[in-house]
Structure 1
Amino acid sequence: MPKKPAPPPLTLETAVTFLKGCGPQVAQRLAQLGIETVADLLLHLPSRYEDRRHCTTFSAWADGAEGVFRARVLHSEVRFAPRRSLRVLVEDDSGTALLRLFHFHPNQQTLLAPGRWVQGFGTGRITREGLTFVHPTFEVADSADAFVLEPHLTPVYPTTQGLAQPRLRSLVERALAVAAEDAAFQQPVPGIDGPETLAALNQLHRPTADDAIVALARFEHPAQRRLIDEELLAHQLSLRWLRRTLQQRPAPAIGALAEAQTALSAGLPFALTGAQQRVLTEIGHDLEQRRPMLRLVQGDVGAGKTLVAAVAMLAAVRAGFQAALMAPTELLAEQHARSFQTWFAPLGIEVTLLTGRLRKKERDAALAQLQAGHSGVLVGTHALFQDEVRLARLGLLVIDEQHRFGVQQRLALRDKGPEGLTPHQLIMSATPIPRTLAQTVHADLDISVIDELPPGRTPVRTVAMSNSRRSEVFARIGEVCAQGRQAYWVCTLVEVSDQLEAQAAEETAAQLREALPQLQVGLVHGRMRGEDKEAQMRAFKEGRTQLLVATTVIEVGVDVPNASIMIIENAERLGLSQLHQLRGRVGRGSVESQCVLLYQPPLSEMARARLGVMRQSNDGFVIARTDLELRGPGELLGRRQTGLVGLKIADPVRDAARVARLQPLADELLASAPTVARRLIRRWVGDFDRYGQV
């Protein structure tokens, strides 16, 4: 019988299944946490700590405090009222306490026999029955001398169902033993102060008695600061590596942007703002280079980002290349296509729209036109990612609402153009974030900001009202529309479901038609056919419909200057940035506009804070900054963005100020110590090589 092959030597790159105590089921649960290798285990850091180093007597216990107790069992019994539970009365030198177990095995009652000793950890509450612990963790012995206390703070890790803390702790201990044999973890990282990586990890997985829980909770511990710097440096390195590698590829030189700006402006009834012109100058400089432009344009709702993109696209087409814009939704893609057709048709430029709704015959014809180079401008959705989409002369790629797409998706579009040339990339975002944060999250991009709204935009007055005042809101809509203006009513639901949202919108539209029979009420939701949505939105834009009921698809797409009031139902369920995006649909004319945030009481503290900010500010940068503080970067920036490097300990909001000194260090390491740079990228990013081959 052949011998079973010996397991490979354990390294940080080894799969966790080779660690003792990690069978297939445990490995599957670890994978749910993003843990696949020994290194992943090392970097799975505690979310908090428990202090199990000292015993607290029952008489000294504060209500709601957490701690360790050691006591002798006096009595145990099972009671069935009001709920079945195992009740264990225990005693130490200072008094008694009650342990209550609602979920227990019969042998636990046998184990907790009178006279035995128990050492437990839990939260003690002062109740009518005295000091009570519900489901403490505990161990049982025949004498008090059999117990030992923990020598260090006990880590509590993020986990998933079926993966207990003791198992996680034992696996992390084994991972630390593997790391102790890894020479790379002993090597210093040039330019970063504090304990070395392995020493810092040891301190965080096994904090000693001298470590303060308060410092750890505030992320002020030297070991935390050391690893935060290392992770942020790895983030900068990975994105800068992508940028440097991408910009080594040739790109088309596109000039004459000023002439394109003049040509497009001639057909507009308004002038570009100073901020738009400044950003176009920055874009024009990039397009003239023979390396790919990588530029992010941030601007508030209505700041005119699309027009800036249109000028750049016109310059590309006039230089003999094609330009493509990718939007996250079909509705937004359709809106962009309509705008471009209006602007480009007088200049003799054809615009092609490519979405998933096209019939095969229409799609095949559009693809043939693009491949032959006959269509100068392409607008589409995720459909652009598909392999058969090829543009003969793609020179410029514009990505709208970039936070909906990940870096990897964006890079996947780099080969859509002609062989040997990489298209320039212009990325737009209506979710403005502070520059320090943008430099952290978008380290691979140059950043431009349109920080000026077009003249004539009147600030929107925002009020929050309880749903109990719904009839007052109906009456207000009637008054506004009687004055010749128009209104939106936006329906939202907790559960993201086209079907449920469609039902909610249909029911609301029926209520409004009954309450306001004098008005023409339109309806738009995600389950409608494209042509039906188009007809409803066109009717609203042309003024044939006074009131448009819609789901959050209306967040983008419709520009109706005559609309002066928006009602957002269940506003407490939405994030600040989405509320601000929706509000941006009104206030586009010269008449003062209103946004009514209807909420269902009672409000949570976070919901109350969000609605308060909406009432106080129309500034998208202020709102985005507050949204970051309330919800964190994962929700606002998109999980694909923040998930790029795992963000195991660093926080792009909390730690943004640390980035400035790490950026020159990243450039220095890439230039003089690429081996160190790769090691850090591999350690913190892990899957970097999957999309780093640019």
Structure 2
Amino acid sequence: MSAPEAGVPVTELKGVGTALALKLERLGIHTVQDLLLHLPLRYQDRTRVVPIGSLRPGDEVMIEASVRAADILQGRRRSLMCRVQDGSGTLSLRFFHFRAAQKNSFQPGARLLCFGEARPGPGGLEMVHPEYKLLKGEEPAVMSEELTPVYPLTEGLTQGRIRSLITLALEWMKTEGFQDLLPKTLLEQWLMPSLPDSLLYLHHPPVDVDQELLLEGKHPAQRRLAMEELLAHHLSLQKARQRVQQQGAPALKASGEFSRPFLQQLPFELTAAQLRVAREVARDLQQPLPMLRLVQGDVGSGKTVVAALAALQAVENGLQAAVMAPTEILAEQHHINFTQWLEPLGIKVAWLAGKVKGKAREAQLEAIRTGEAPVVVGTHALFQDEVVFADLGVVVIDEQHRFGVHQRLSLKEKGRNGERSPHQLIMTATPIPRTLTMSAYADLDCSIIDELPPGRTPVQTVVIADSRRDQVVERVRQACAEGRQAYWVCTLIEESEALQCEAAEVTAERLKELLPQLRIGLVHGRMKPAEKADIMARFKAAELDLLVATTVIEVGVDVPNASLMIIENPERLGLAQLHQLRGRVGRGSVESYCVLMYHAPLSKQGRERLGVMRETTDGFRIAEKDLELRGPGEVLGTRQTGMMQFRIADLQRDADLLPRIHQVAADLGTQSALNEALIRRWLGTGDVYAQV
């Protein structure tokens, strides 16, 4: 059916005035189309009455019962308590807000139809503020004929109001139609229902629906919408890639002028995986299109050498390379490495971070502007307007998920006159599950360094309760007595950095008392960068035995002699962060250990997460589990940008759709009106990927 695209303002619906429209706007609802795509979070079953005797805590059900007694209780909070029974058992209904007339209506013997959640109370199960209806005389209880949807809400909007609005929108859809953007042949090929049929089904599921399938998000109607939403996100990323690549980039020939002597001076051989990825990068750089490549590699797999080779290819062609990291400590580590590697080749490496100030900063900016420094290492300070490059050819971004897509794409402005885009190499030591790579990074080509350098031994992980702290302290003493070094990591206390630093200070003092023979250092986020750098340098030089730290050491610290790490309260951290921290040990040839010292009792999810850490050192398996437990926005660190927030799709659940989506995107071609309509329908003005 050819229908108008449903860009009809929501105010066209009966009863929607300016005030209501503003509330709907907070939910991202501007049009009737948006309202139709505002899908239920879950469903309530009001189609049948459930006997009280069969209820368990957490059940959300309809009951039919008669009043036994109703009393006002004068506890800490005054409440109306009504006891009801149905022959199979008794239940309490509790109301904190009530009127005298309400109490009087609960006469013994009165019949009620009641819906609510059964919760444990002082005298058995109870429902707090349930919805109820008093039944008159022999009046039969009338059930709903379909499952009742429960929608995401905002302040000042009730479930009843949004349900009635969506019913109006569905009526509108029946008369006006709602354009199915996907080709009919495609839907037939995938045996998928039409868009209007799917929406009707999901807003008003019939009684005989397979509820389990619906609650798991695997019903064909849900899959139909998830597929379209994932396709829209994928097309949006492709659009972003095309925008970048329309500008063209310098074709960088690989002469080997600097890369050959660089490789010869390294004290180690590159692994086969490093060589493979380096060749993929070199091939990209020779094209007149901007490289957009993601290099994934577990902690310690040697991504920095690949980055150095890319930078050298730019320098061999008379262009500059910029290397950017999210934290000063990691940027500083890169600066040290690049300086050691490149200055012997006669290549000046500039350094730009927040702490570089005054005349030193002016000198660095001048060296970047004139091209005197062909390689520049820094933090997000490189994004600043005052940073002008002579001719930027390659940008390397480490741990890009800490920056966000906008910043990555905005770097093209740093190319020559903002007209020629630099090549982009994005690196991450946070292994990204394949499902996320195929969706969140669909604008990038992907390389994986899937091999650790020889001589590395896998880290053994032990999980124990903090009630055994004495044994852990003794273990640290033994390791240091054998000439090894150790980390003691204090994790976040609530969300306060001040408290976190305080906890680290207290821990360091306590350990100094318990281990007087050890040289103990302390590093936390509130220390001055120079002070922090000094402590780290002393630890690296083996002038300290034990380093007590907050999670600032998560990335960028390389001390091969450190073979033991204690992480306090690991249950407070994400799996990816734990994996990053653990990667600080096991960097030499000696057997290394990571002790996860948790505070009991652990939640079920907490036990599961720490169990994964104990069982595997495979970063990709850990990342998959992290995605399953925390969701894509958390794993990518993008919750705050609004990116990857799907209305219905779930990357873990719908992973099997992604290969098909790539195929469909290829079949649809580029720059078509259909692609634009799909992006507009699902991302609206939030087309975050394409806004450069």
TM-score (norm 1): 0.91
1:309 is matched with which residue? 307
Query: Alpha-carbon deviation of 1:163?
Result: 3.9
1: CA distance between counterparts of 2:478 and 2:232? 57
Q: Counterpart in 1 of 2:560?
A: 561
Instruction: Compare 66-75 and 307-316 and name the one that shifted more.
Output: 66-75
Q: Is the 8 A contact 1:407 1:641 kept in 2?
A: no
Q: Does 1:639 align with 2:627?
A: no
Residue 53 (structure 1) aligned to one of 27, 47, 58? 47
- Structure 2 counterpart SS, 1:88: strand
Alignment CA distance shift 1:179-1:372 (3 Å): farther
% same residue: 53
Distance 1:344 1:620, change over 3 A: same
The question of whether the paired residues in 1 share the 8 Å contact of 2:435 and 2:651 is answered with: no
Question: Residue 181 of structure 2 contacts residue 678 of structure 2 at CA under 8 Å; is this kept in 1?
Answer: no
| Structure 2 letter corresponding to 1:104 | F
Aligned to 2:241: 243
Q: What residue in structure 1 maps to residue 352 of structure 2?
A: 354
| Counterpart for residue 517 of structure 2 | 518
2:404 touches 2:641 (CA, 8 Å); kept in 1?
no
Correspondences of 1:117-516 after superposition (within 5 Å): 118-124=112-118, 132-140=126-134, 142=136, 145=139, 148-160=142-154, 163-180=157-174, 185-190=179-184, 191-192=186-187, 193=190, 194-256=192-254, 258-419=256-417, 420-516=419-515
Over 3 Å counting, the alpha-carbon distance change for 1:35 and 1:492 in structure 2 is farther
Q: Which moved more, 1:185-194 or 1:43-52?
A: 185-194
How far, CA to CA, are the matches of 1:96 and 1:693 in structure 2?
Answer: 59
Q: How far apart are 1:189 and its partner, in Å?
A: 3.8
CA distance in 2, matches of 1:523, 1:63: 48
Tell me if structure 2 keeps the 8 A contact 1:681–1:688. no
C-alpha distance 390-206 of structure 1, shift in aligned 2 (>3 A): farther
Distance in 2 between the 1:688 and 1:396 partners? 29
d(CA) in 2 for partners of 1:375 and 1:233? Answer: 43
Residue 495 of structure 1 aligns with an amino acid whose one-letter code is E
Shift of 1:547: 1.2
Q: Is the deviation greater in 351-360 or in 308-317?
A: 351-360
Instruction: Name the CA distance, whole Å, in 1 between partners of 2:641 and 2:302.
Output: 27
Task: Check whether the contact 1:524–1:548 (CA below 8 A) recurs between aligned residues.
Answer: yes
1:101-120 mapped onto 2 (5 Å cutoff): 101-110=95-104, 112=106, 118-120=112-114
Per-residue CA deviation, residues 652-678 of structure 1 (Å, 9 max, x unaligned), is: 12211211122121122134x811111
Q: SS state of the match for residue 502, structure 1?
A: helix
SS in structure 1 at match of 2:643 = helix
| SS in structure 1 of the partner of residue 601 of structure 2 | coil
Question: Offset at 1:151?
Answer: 2.7
- SS of the aligned residue for 1:185 comes to coil
Residues 155 and 206, structure 1, Cα contact 8 Å, conserved in 2: yes
Q: Distance in 1 between matches of 2:581 and 2:633?
A: 20
Unaligned runs of 5+ in 2: none
Cα distance, 1:361 vs. partner? 3.9
In the other structure, the counterpart of 2:74 is: 80
Q: CA offsets, 1:217-256, max 9 Å, x none? A: 1222110111111111112211122222322221011121
**Cα separation, 2, equivalents of 1:514 and 1:125:** 49
Letter in 2 for 1:280: A
Name the aligned partner's letter for residue 481 of structure 1: C
In the alignment, what sits opposite 1:678? 676
Partner of 2:656: 657
- The 3-state SS of whatever aligns with 2:414 is coil
Partner of 1:43: 37
More displaced stretch, 231-240 vs 366-375: 366-375
Shift of 1:31: 5.3
Contact 1:257 1:284 in 2 (8 A): no
**Inter-partner Cα distance in structure 1 for 2:85 and 2:28:** 44
Relative to structure 1, the CA distance from residue 130 to residue 340 in structure 2 (aligned partners, 3 Å threshold; closer, same or farther) is closer
CA contact (8 A) 1:187 1:196 kept: no
- Within 2, Cα distance between the matches of 1:545 and 1:94? 70
Equivalences, count:
684
Q: CA deviation at 1:496?
A: 3.3
Displacement, 1:176? 3.5
Following superposition, the deviation at residue 113 of structure 1 comes to 5.5
Aligned partners of 1:461 and 1:593 also within 8 Å: yes
> Which has the higher mean CA deviation after the structures are superposed, 645-654 or 153-162?
153-162
Say if 2:590 is the partner of 1:596. Answer: no
Tell me which residue corresponds to 2:545: 546
Aligned Cα root-mean-square deviation (Å) = 2.9
How far 1:640 moved relative to its partner? 5.0
| CA deviation string 1:404-452 (max 9, x = no partner) | 2322221111111112210111111112134354223211111101000
Determine if contact 1:292/1:423 at 8 Å carries over to the other structure.
yes
Deviation of 1:110 after TM superposition, in Å, equals 4.6
* Partner Cα distance (2:277, 2:529) in 1: 34
Partner-residue secondary structure (3-state), 1:413:
helix
Give the Cα–Cα distance (whole angstroms) in 2 for the partners of residues 542 and 436 of structure 1: 41
- Change over 3 Å in CA distance of 1:593–1:170 after alignment to 2: same
Gaps of 5+ in 1: 1-9
Listed one character per residue, the Cα deviations across residues 133-190 of structure 1 (whole Å, up to 9, x for unaligned) are 3321123465664964323210112335554322332333344445556655345445
Secondary structure in 1 matching 2:246: coil
Judge conservation of contact 1:76–1:87 (CA < 8 Å) in 2. Answer: yes
Distance 2:120 2:554 in 1: 50
C-alpha separation in 2, matches of 1:433 and 1:176: 39
Partner in structure 2 of residue 7 of structure 1: none
The answer (yes or no) to whether the contact 2:237–2:443 under 8 Å persists in 1 is yes
Q: Would you say the 8 A contact 2:11–2:21 is kept in 1? A: yes
Change (3 A) 1:27 1:258: farther
Q: Deviation digits for residues 595-625 of structure 1, max 9, x if unmatched? A: 1111111111111122222222122122212
Give TM-score scaled by structure 2 length. Answer: 0.91
Post-superposition offset of 1:634: 2.5
Residues in 2 aligned to 1:249 and 1:63: alpha-carbon distance in whole angstroms: 60
Moved more, 316-325 or 125-134: 125-134
